[in-house]
Structure 1
Amino acid sequence: MNFSSKKVFILFFVSVVSSLAFAQSKSDRELILIDKDWRFSFGHLFDTEKDFGHATGYFSYLTKTGFGDGPAAKDFDDRAWRKLDLPHDWAVEQDFSESGSYSHGFKMAGKGFPEKSIGWYRKKITIPETDKNKIISLKFDGVFRNSKVFFNGYYLGTEESGYNGFEYDVTAYVNYGGENTIVVRADASMEEGWFYEGAGIYRHVYLQKTNPVHVALNGTYVTSEIKDNNAEVTAEVTLINKGNYKGSIEIFQTVFDASNKQITTVSENVSAPEFYKTNTKALKLTIKNPLLWDIDSPNLYRLVTELKQNGKTIDYYETPFGIRTIKFDPENGFFLNGKPLKLKGTNNHQDHAGIGTALPDELQYYRIQKLKEMGSNAYRCSHHPPTPELLEACDKLGMLVIDETRLMGINDYHLNDLERMMKRDRNHPSIFCWSVGNEEWNIEGNIVGERITNVMQDFAKSIDATRPVTVGISSGFKSGISSVVEIMGYNYLGNGDIDAHRNEFKQQSGMGTEEGSTFATRGIYFTDDAKHYKSAYDKKPRPTFYSIEEGWKFYAERPYLAGMFIWTGFDYRGEPTPYGWPSVTSYFGMMDVCGFPKDNVFYLKSWWGSKPVLHIMPHWNWSGLEGKEIDVWVQSNCDEVELFLNKKSLGKKKMVLNSHLEWKVNYTPGTLEAVGYKNGKKVLTEVQKTTGKAENVKLSIDKENVLKGKVSVITVEVIDKNGLQIPTANDEITFSIKGGKILGVGNGDPTSLEKDQFIDDLELVKITNFKEQKRTDATLPQQLSNYPENEWKIAFSDRDYKNQAPSYIYRGEFDLKNNTTANVVSFFYKKIGAAVAIFVNGKKIEASTEDSQKYVLNPVVLKEGKNTIHIIATPLQKVKDWDVMNTDPGIIQVSTPAEQWKRKLFNGYAQIIIQKEENANEVVLSASAKGLRAGSLNIK
């Protein structure tokens, strides 16, 4: 099938930092990031007592509106829970275990660990009285997974997928002028994919406020057609009315360029939609001599949609977009803006070393810049909708994108997911193709696959007709999906005869949606299966599969193939083929999980990029192998390369297009030097030197960091006295920081079982065996008396609230597994009396100054094992007979301080990701290792 489109599209993306403050002053719309200051605790998959008694009430939240119980209740006491900021991935925080999921990198989370498969999040926000006439909603970019959301105890809904964004209207439930409680329960016990997916609220959360008449969710759609050096822009807007206004609305559409200069504007009066209905209106604008969006010049425009009601601006909505043309041709491949462009793509999952899936926005840019530096121009979202910030980075940096939905099917579950993804993302100029499936082996080659593909393909066209549809196919290229999909997605040369399929379907364009799948460990040059290390030389992974070089040659030599997407750009957690435990990451990446390049990066850089490249592999530290033959490869795009060992020439060789050069060299310490020639002239030199012993720890900030970003990626290495990096170093580095916090550490070692994060351990210990006795005196004592043992009875049993004693003494127990002076043990008292005195192991405890119902316990008072708590309190009185009185005395929190942050180097490198504190002028990061001079780095 021949897909040709001169139309262009764009996606709605709200700029939280720059445009929102501007928008707030102009209209009723506000979009407020609410990532900070959440409370978190683990629940339990099936033990309701360990899940804080959630969903155990006589009336459940599904039975009666507003009956959220346990942590879902508005006034649940979460003070003892951990305090954190979003985005958050609880899976990456866990230790490794051989009984953990192979897919998820053997982390102790998920279905095999019911105590680490449910996560509760709670946050309190204040919404002023002045917002009473607005529509208030919560926007989630993604929660993994099966999330249930509550607001002030009211159940809002369930989102099963961990990759969909979703929104809930909470207007009816708001406590205006007071405190409101957001609660999320995430159930990560079931996997959606076969790769690391993380767990929890790993994307952003927003509070949104709008006028009742406003632009609907993802309610703009911008396309353009280029005619005679002008762009005819169609700006479609969908309005929704959640109020009773029945008059007219004036729509203003204005386009601004990158310098914020107004380019063109248009307006039109329309009738407001009826109550809870929508209206869609398309307006036309012309942009003269537009700056096109391109991978080298990613020019962007901004559409401002302004709604006016009786002359007053009620909504102000921004849509970044780009103008460009795309075309697939079955004979000549892919064209961008009328020019042929070979797709040089990579597949990628969304996790990164040290932080799992909870990527700060800056890290999205970091990763795309790493891929661009390698020469890549295209990115396939494998295998689910990405976070919005990744697409924003691709728009701004010039990276084409295949946007992929999670699961194939024809029912609402499948098509609704596809529609939400497409409407959210269709204004992004970076997206050039929609993918509706990947390696669905059960249906790829049969009539069911054909039927599903036809439905999904036509459904996608009804939402966005400007882009083609593809499916990644791996079980032969003969029938079923392969025969009807618009753009054929070939997954691996070894899985079928691509040329034969092309000859049968000559009007069908195609590209390699997955190719490569080689195994390599960064910095390893001799395979060691016992250690689970694969040599970094580019070899066939298995007899029927192809190396990176073989794969690229195949696609580069065939004009009818639009290009290829390598599996993968970065290593990722899980799927540690061809090994298992204790390997915890993949081996497929061109870069490791940190983004440190493997040697294949330089092969691709040679033939994917435009700059001269010269790279020698391996390193030249081979003590003990003197005189042994070493394979030396040179990756380059020079015409010729000459290799020298200690200034003696080992011969000059001509470079063949899309290839590399090889020498056999007997190891002698010293200097291995390559000289590259173009047109007979020396243009590049590259050396590998035998280093001395390690002397210093070196910290450096990676150049791909976002300028003025709060998050920075730091490379850690050790160097000898001459400043040379030690490529075989594996020293353990210890870190400290001032003015910031460490988010995660990594080193790219696929078998490393070191911690990714070092966080304080919080344990919540219940008070058990809770009993009571009546007291005849309402005065609270300063010392604990002896009470008759035979008069203790179960607390609050058969309490006559109309005839209570002047006071009660309660006794309970709690167990401490260990009692070290480093631990901080606190009792979070939940009110069971009007006035109270508390004793632990016979000693009176005073309330903390920060919280009158929090008691920090002195380690001297505590003991390992069983401890006793007494609470003497005057009773609370019922106001109404049906009042439910609290009978829970509270919870013991044991906080064990984390170890100091540390990570071993792996083949010379480690990585640390840091975040600057809000008001800090600079961040000072220090690193030390045994026997080495410490290093430090100041970041302004």
Structure 2
Amino acid sequence: MKQISLNTDWEFYESDESMSFVFQRPEAVTVNLPHDFIITKPRSPQAAGGPGNGYFGQGEGVYRKELEAAKSWEGKTVLLDIDGAYMNSEISVNEELLALHPYGYTPFQVDISSALRFDGRKNILKIITQSRQPSSRWYSGGGLYRSVSLWLGERICISPWDVFVTTPEVTEDSAVAEFAVSLTSCEEEERELTLVCEVLDPEGKAAGTASRQVKTSRSGEETPCRIPVTVEKPRRWEPDTPVLYTYRVLVKEGEKIWDTAEDTFGIRTISVDPENGFRLNGRTVKLKGGCLHHDNGLLGACAYAKAEERKIRLLQSAGYNAVRISHYPPSLAMLKICDRLGMLLLDECFDVWRLGKVPMDYHLYFEDWWERDMEWMVKRDRNHPCVISYSIGNEIGERDGRNDGAAWSARLSEKIRSLDPTRFVLSAICGIFGEDTEVGTNFEANILEDKEDGWKEKTKDYAAPLDIVGYNYLNVRYEKDHEAFPDRVICATETHACSTYDYWEGVKKYPWVIGDFIWAAVDYLGEVGVGQVYWKKENKPFQFMAAYPWRTSWQSDFLMTGERRPQSFYRELMWGHTDKTWLFTTHPSHYGDEFYGSGWHWPDVNDDWSFGSEWEGRMVSAVSYGPGEEAEFILNGTSLGRVPYERLTAKMDISYTPGILEAVSYREGKEISRGSLVTAGEAVRILAEPEQDTLKGDGQDICYIRIMITDENGVRLPAEEREIQAELTGPAVPAALGSGNPCTEDQIGQMSCHTFHGTAQLIIKASEAGKIGIAVRSGGLQTGYAAVHAV
């Protein structure tokens, strides 16, 4: 089928309207997709979604678009493909309601052929989306936040997702790519056709072909067909060499080509067992993973391909080889990026089944919709080599067997295997509540002490259908559960930041534990303040989520702007990906104080040696993350002594004196590497640094500009939280301006914000080709200028 993008030129307005009555319509604006109409709404302490949703607003977003249906389309198949819409979507064409879709994360398709007009009149496609809260435990966004397209097919065609390519046999000399293809015919009569399956190598050259005669079924029925294609000397898909082949399927009747289907796939094998763990192409690979929510920081839920790519590249640069998309299917853009860059992916379907976690979440629809939603997820995703596992659910309320939890676990697992028997089935399980304890929050379940070990028996039947059992915050169970269930393969699907060393030691020690997925890899909107540090002297009452104006979780390796946090450097060392030394300090105002947190926190340290003259002579706690046996601290060229590394960490209390503080790592007396901090001078200028020189002028591509406040020598001022304003010239369209500050009242969508740790981020699009000028100003500082070219 032919795909036609519908990502541009939508009329959008917010309204409380139904399909039956049309109230006075607000004035529409023109928007391009992806689009999140919630992210620019003012936040409020009274927001219905509360801290879980980041104190953002809610509403109903209406999208309208004119479609031209050529006369030649009549009698053919026209499918509307929506990769994600939040949520309770209503799809109509020419005021005919064609579909409802409750879930906000699964892709879905709607046959709109019967409602189209082919007489030259315009067709009006209308999609209503509801972002009502509380309907999620994180920032959901709202609207058509992923891509939308049409698929146009002949009367005999291959519907999207109806080609499934597997590689059941792979050796050094050859591989078998087995095509499972379903043909759909609208013809009244059976037809004799030829199905041709081709494999093209990464250079576009023919790598294998096979064909088969097929007799189609009668109108409206699918005809399944399997065809093996041999590929000589296959190049395997791996994280370091993510080789992608292209499949092409042709449906022929004599010389006539009815339809073609084409996409990429990878040749690789995967297996799991408790002796060898997870193996990719026969080689054991430990998963160095992180959990990701779907938002892209200042862009909200918008799944721009460039934003998804940037996120994965940042994680790879820090040593990650796997991501878990939490707790729903990812965007198609994310899948394609992970295929291309070699990032392994755990694909998750649900956060709830029949027992809800917030009042308006998916549990209201699960029983009626789970099978369709799961089928859409698996059929879309099963040709992507990055996908190694499907999760049937995260911390499901039925995990302890209540409400037929074990039966539902078996039912969902069986459904996945019927659609794709080549991936592993997983569910992420956390602690459980006691016999007489009323079910509480996920947070409570994750910190419960199971003194009587009821977890093992209560979750046994639920876990039995799974290929991999996901353990959330349960590393104390790795050894004893292996004794009880020697055939069980475990994956640490969520782990705490503050004890990451212990979790990873368990992964290294036990072959049946295949990997560790930190919660979380990139800071996200919602679940606000879970990672904050509490200082004892401040006497602030502990609460799991923070009060307004907190907006992000603050429990991740990266700020939502992409700046690395200290724990990211620590984890890169822990995984053995670097021999660098990293140096951080705690502000002297906290010297001698004690701190604590939820478990998702990290010590309050920063790359800062610029504390102001009032702190000179005051003690500062410095910490070095590094390799080797000991670290030497050096201040302004004078050695302060050496400290042994324990768990990759060396600490020293130092009297603050401006200048240069260094930490040098040694092994057997020889220097390995060193890190340093430099005292910044007065704020003088703003730097604006684009991450690329060009972007496409199509309204779909985006460009990130890093903004930094520096002294006259270009040293960043770590404590600067100064208001800045951005101005654009040329064909630029602002997408977002803001910082990674987890707690701020800065309004996303405005062209001013405050820096955080001396940095901020501007994101732009382009409406057409041309030169784009960027100016970033703040009172008393030299303006930062930059330019990029839209092509």
Shorter-chain TM range is 0.7 to 0.9
- How far the C-alpha of 1:740 sits from its partner, in A, is 1.3
- How far the C-alpha of 1:916 sits from its partner, in A, is 2.4
- Report the Cα distance in structure 1 between the residues aligned to 2:328 and 2:191, rounded to whole angstroms: 42
Larger deviation: 732-741 or 686-695? 732-741
The corresponding residue for 2:288 is 344
- How far the C-alpha of 1:687 sits from its partner, in A, is 1.4
Residues 1:172 and 2:110 are matched in the alignment? no
> 1:165–1:447: structure 2 CA closer, same or farther, 3 Å change rule?
closer
Pick from 412, 423, 441: which aligns with 1:456?
Answer: 412
- How far the C-alpha of 1:234 sits from its partner, in A, is 0.5
The answer to whether the 8 Å contact 1:222/1:233 transfers is yes
Pick from 715, 725, 728: which aligns with 1:734?
Answer: 725
- How far the C-alpha of 1:706 sits from its partner, in A, is 8.8
The corresponding residue for 1:711 is 702
The corresponding residue for 1:55 is 20
The corresponding residue for 1:747 is 739
Larger deviation: 574-583 or 501-510? 574-583
The answer to whether the 8 Å contact 2:583/2:676 transfers is yes
The corresponding residue for 1:597 is 564
The corresponding residue for 2:6 is 34
- Report the Cα distance in structure 2 between the residues aligned to 1:130 and 1:413, rounded to whole angstroms: 35
> 1:81–1:703: structure 2 CA closer, same or farther, 3 Å change rule?
closer
The answer to whether the 8 Å contact 2:695/2:766 transfers is no
> Structure 2 matches for 1:102-501, cutoff 5 A?
102-110=50-58, 117-176=59-118, 177-224=120-167, 225-227=169-171, 229-406=173-350, 407-408=352-353, 411-446=367-402, 448-476=404-432, 477-478=455-456, 479-480=458-459, 481-493=462-474, 497-501=477-481
The answer to whether the 8 Å contact 1:353/1:745 transfers is no
- How far the C-alpha of 1:684 sits from its partner, in A, is 2.9
The corresponding residue for 2:635 is 645
- Report the Cα distance in structure 2 between the residues aligned to 1:707 and 1:335, rounded to whole angstroms: 40
Pick from 730, 755, 768: which aligns with 1:918?
Answer: 768
- How far the C-alpha of 1:639 sits from its partner, in A, is 5.4
Pick from 659, 662, 666: which aligns with 2:655?
Answer: 666
Letter in 1 for 2:151: Q
- How far the C-alpha of 1:471 sits from its partner, in A, is 0.8
The answer to whether the 8 Å contact 1:711/1:915 transfers is yes
The corresponding residue for 2:522 is 570
> 1:105–1:188: structure 2 CA closer, same or farther, 3 Å change rule?
closer
- How far the C-alpha of 1:329 sits from its partner, in A, is 2.0
- Report the Cα distance in structure 1 between the residues aligned to 2:619 and 2:401, rounded to whole angstroms: 48
Residues 1:94 and 2:84 are matched in the alignment? no
Give unpaired runs (5+ residues) of structure 1: 1-28, 45-50, 57-69, 72-76, 111-116, 519-538, 540-546, 759-900
> In the TM superposition, what whole-angstrom CA distance separates every residue of 1:209-265 from its partner, at most 9, and x where no partner exists?
111111123001111121453111101111111233522121111111111111111
The corresponding residue for 2:554 is 587
Letter in 2 for 1:566: I
> In the TM superposition, what whole-angstrom CA distance separates every residue of 1:75-122 from its partner, at most 9, and x where no partner exists?
xx9793122111111110100100112255444523xxxxxx211111
- How far the C-alpha of 1:193 sits from its partner, in A, is 2.5
The corresponding residue for 1:723 is 714
Larger Rg: 1
- Report the Cα distance in structure 2 between the residues aligned to 1:745 and 1:492, rounded to whole angstroms: 35
Letter in 2 for 1:169: D
Q: TM-score, normalised by structure 2?
A: 0.86
> 1:170–1:560: structure 2 CA closer, same or farther, 3 Å change rule?
closer
Residues 1:617 and 2:597 are matched in the alignment? no
The answer to whether the 8 Å contact 1:196/1:574 transfers is yes
- How far the C-alpha of 1:611 sits from its partner, in A, is 3.5
- Report the Cα distance in structure 1 between the residues aligned to 2:693 and 2:273, rounded to whole angstroms: 35
The corresponding residue for 2:620 is 630
> 1:329–1:705: structure 2 CA closer, same or farther, 3 Å change rule?
farther
Residues 1:675 and 2:664 are matched in the alignment? yes
- How far the C-alpha of 1:917 sits from its partner, in A, is 2.6
- Report the Cα distance in structure 2 between the residues aligned to 1:125 and 1:310, rounded to whole angstroms: 34
Letter in 2 for 1:919: A
The corresponding residue for 2:537 is none
The corresponding residue for 1:903 is 753
The answer to whether the 8 Å contact 2:53/2:136 transfers is no
Letter in 2 for 1:34: L
Larger helix fraction of residues:
2
The answer to whether the 8 Å contact 2:176/2:231 transfers is yes
Pick from 772, 776, 779: which aligns with 1:930?
Answer: 779
- How far the C-alpha of 1:640 sits from its partner, in A, is 4.6
Q: TM-score, normalised by structure 1?
A: 0.72
- How far the C-alpha of 1:937 sits from its partner, in A, is 1.2
The answer to whether the 8 Å contact 2:353/2:397 transfers is no
- Report the Cα distance in structure 1 between the residues aligned to 2:609 and 2:312, rounded to whole angstroms: 31
- Report the Cα distance in structure 2 between the residues aligned to 1:706 and 1:610, rounded to whole angstroms: 32
- Report the Cα distance in structure 2 between the residues aligned to 1:718 and 1:266, rounded to whole angstroms: 61
Letter in 1 for 2:767: E
- Report the Cα distance in structure 2 between the residues aligned to 1:700 and 1:682, rounded to whole angstroms: 34
- Report the Cα distance in structure 2 between the residues aligned to 1:704 and 1:296, rounded to whole angstroms: 27
The corresponding residue for 1:533 is none
The answer to whether the 8 Å contact 1:94/1:107 transfers is no
- Report the Cα distance in structure 1 between the residues aligned to 2:718 and 2:506, rounded to whole angstroms: 33
- How far the C-alpha of 1:629 sits from its partner, in A, is 2.2
> Structure 2 matches for 1:1-80, cutoff 5 A?
29-44=1-16, 51=17, 54-56=19-21, 70=22, 80=27
Larger deviation: 630-639 or 581-590? 630-639
The corresponding residue for 2:691 is 702
Pick from 504, 514, 528: which aligns with 2:484?
Answer: 504
> In the TM superposition, what whole-angstrom CA distance separates every residue of 1:599-655 from its partner, at most 9, and x where no partner exists?
001011112253332211131012222222222111223455332111111233454
The answer to whether the 8 Å contact 2:696/2:769 transfers is no
The answer to whether the 8 Å contact 2:13/2:28 transfers is yes
- Report the Cα distance in structure 2 between the residues aligned to 1:228 and 1:362, rounded to whole angstroms: 35
- Report the Cα distance in structure 2 between the residues aligned to 1:396 and 1:457, rounded to whole angstroms: 28
- Report the Cα distance in structure 1 between the residues aligned to 2:239 and 2:559, rounded to whole angstroms: 25
- How far the C-alpha of 1:707 sits from its partner, in A, is 10
Letter in 2 for 1:122: R
For the residue of structure 2 that corresponds to 1:95, the secondary structure is: coil
The corresponding residue for 1:560 is 512
The corresponding residue for 1:816 is none
> 1:663–1:367: structure 2 CA closer, same or farther, 3 Å change rule?
same
Larger deviation: 359-368 or 165-174? 165-174
- Report the Cα distance in structure 1 between the residues aligned to 2:416 and 2:705, rounded to whole angstroms: 42
- Report the Cα distance in structure 2 between the residues aligned to 1:625 and 1:660, rounded to whole angstroms: 25
The answer to whether the 8 Å contact 1:92/1:107 transfers is no
> 1:340–1:650: structure 2 CA closer, same or farther, 3 Å change rule?
farther
- How far the C-alpha of 1:659 sits from its partner, in A, is 2.3
- How far the C-alpha of 1:445 sits from its partner, in A, is 4.7
- How far the C-alpha of 1:394 sits from its partner, in A, is 0.7
Name the count of aligned residue pairs: 708
For the residue of structure 2 that corresponds to 1:313, the secondary structure is: strand
The answer to whether the 8 Å contact 2:732/2:767 transfers is yes
- Report the Cα distance in structure 2 between the residues aligned to 1:395 and 1:173, rounded to whole angstroms: 36
The corresponding residue for 1:825 is none
- How far the C-alpha of 1:275 sits from its partner, in A, is 0.3
- Report the Cα distance in structure 2 between the residues aligned to 1:263 and 1:681, rounded to whole angstroms: 52
The answer to whether the 8 Å contact 1:640/1:653 transfers is yes
- Report the Cα distance in structure 2 between the residues aligned to 1:397 and 1:637, rounded to whole angstroms: 28
- Report the Cα distance in structure 2 between the residues aligned to 1:182 and 1:560, rounded to whole angstroms: 51
For the residue of structure 2 that corresponds to 1:198, the secondary structure is: coil
The answer to whether the 8 Å contact 2:54/2:139 transfers is no
The answer to whether the 8 Å contact 2:40/2:749 transfers is yes
> 1:293–1:248: structure 2 CA closer, same or farther, 3 Å change rule?
same
The corresponding residue for 2:535 is none
The answer to whether the 8 Å contact 2:738/2:752 transfers is no
